[in-house]
Amino acid sequence: MKNSNLSTVFALLLMSVSLSSCEAIAGIFKAGMGFGIFIVIAVIILIVWLIMRSRKK
């Protein structure tokens, strides 16, 4: 094995031992929720910007 493959396997093994599956899933969902909130805010800003731009004409 190359050093990079060995370090990847070691990192995955360390994470699997140190994190329980519930903590890992909770982290994934928290990241997903944050990204979803960001997308919703971006879409609302885009809609408001388009409405304001169309009223100027």
pLDDT digits (tens, 9 = 90+) for 4-18: 777 888 877 777 766
Side chain identity, residue 19: L
pLDDT category, 45, cuts 50, 70, 90? very high
Mean pLDDT of 37-47: 92
Q: What is the value of pTM for the model shown?
A: 0.49
Q: What is the DSSP string of 22-54?
A: HHHHHHHHHHHHHHHHHHHHHHHHHHHHHHHHH
What's the number of domains the chain is made of? 1
Of 21 and 38, more confident: 38
Distance (Å, whole) CA 12 – CA 32:
21
Domain that holds residue 30: 3-56
Side chain identity, residue 32: G
